[in-house]
Structure 1
Amino acid sequence: MTEIAAPAAVSDHEAGTACLGAAAVGFRGTIRGIRVPDDAHLPRAELERRLLELGFIEGARVEILHQGLFGRDPIAVRVNGMTVALRRREASAILVDASL
């Protein structure tokens, strides 16, 4: 999996790859990797481990189902058929490619 230090909406080395935290309700895509920014609220290894345990693995299909009313947080994400609630700042560590 790819780790990139600077948070960005689009990866420098893969055009079309964006972070899940910036996506809108209805977004559908495929996970390409996990990138934890240096300013994350949890240590890099801890956040990566938690996301992997929840099923956010490379190649998994994701869809944003719902978002909170205030601040668009948290979001409900379907990952390979399972629904998970995430904060957008945690979802920002997940790199995805949009499905057509």
Structure 2
Amino acid sequence: MKLSELPHRTAATVESVDDQAPNDAIARRLRELGFVSGERVEVMAAGPVAAEPLLVQIGFTRFALRRSEAARVRVRTEVEA
């Protein structure tokens, strides 16, 4: 499932970050921020307008991501494992 589809307050594990083009700057930046395979991630909240941005916690750090950015991150929940 994609991170943008993950229900709020549901723990998941990052599987991968999808590149949409060769040398994708956004995907590379997400990996630099810690969205790498095996990391625990959770969607904490969503913004008031069109549920954007998403407040995402990875480790002890929180980030605000657009839904389009979160859709690049593939995750696996405990139930799927």
Q: In which range does the TM-score fall when normalised by the shorter chain? A: 0.7 to 0.9
Greater fraction of residues in strand? 2
Report the AA paired with residue 30 of structure 1.
T
Scaled by the length of structure 1, what TM-score is found? 0.71
Q: 1:36 deviation in Å?
A: 3.1
Report the AA paired with residue 33 of structure 1.
S
Identify if the C-alpha distance between structure 1 residues 44 and 72 changes in structure 2 by more than 3 Å, giving closer, same or farther: farther
How many residues were matched structurally? Answer: 79
Identify if the C-alpha distance between structure 1 residues 85 and 45 changes in structure 2 by more than 3 Å, giving closer, same or farther: same
1:51-94: CA deviation from partner (whole Å, max 9, x where unpaired) = 01111111100011010011110011110111111001100000
**Structure 2 match to 1:14:** none
* Distance of 2:53 and 2:23 partners within structure 1: 20
Given candidates 23, 44, 55, the residue that maps to 1:65 is: 44
Q: 1:24 deviation in Å?
A: 2.2
Q: Relative contact order (C-alpha < 8 Å, sep 6+): which is higher?
A: 2
Report the AA paired with residue 60 of structure 1.
E
**Structure 1 match to 2:2:** 19
RMSD: 1.6
**Structure 2 match to 1:36:** 19
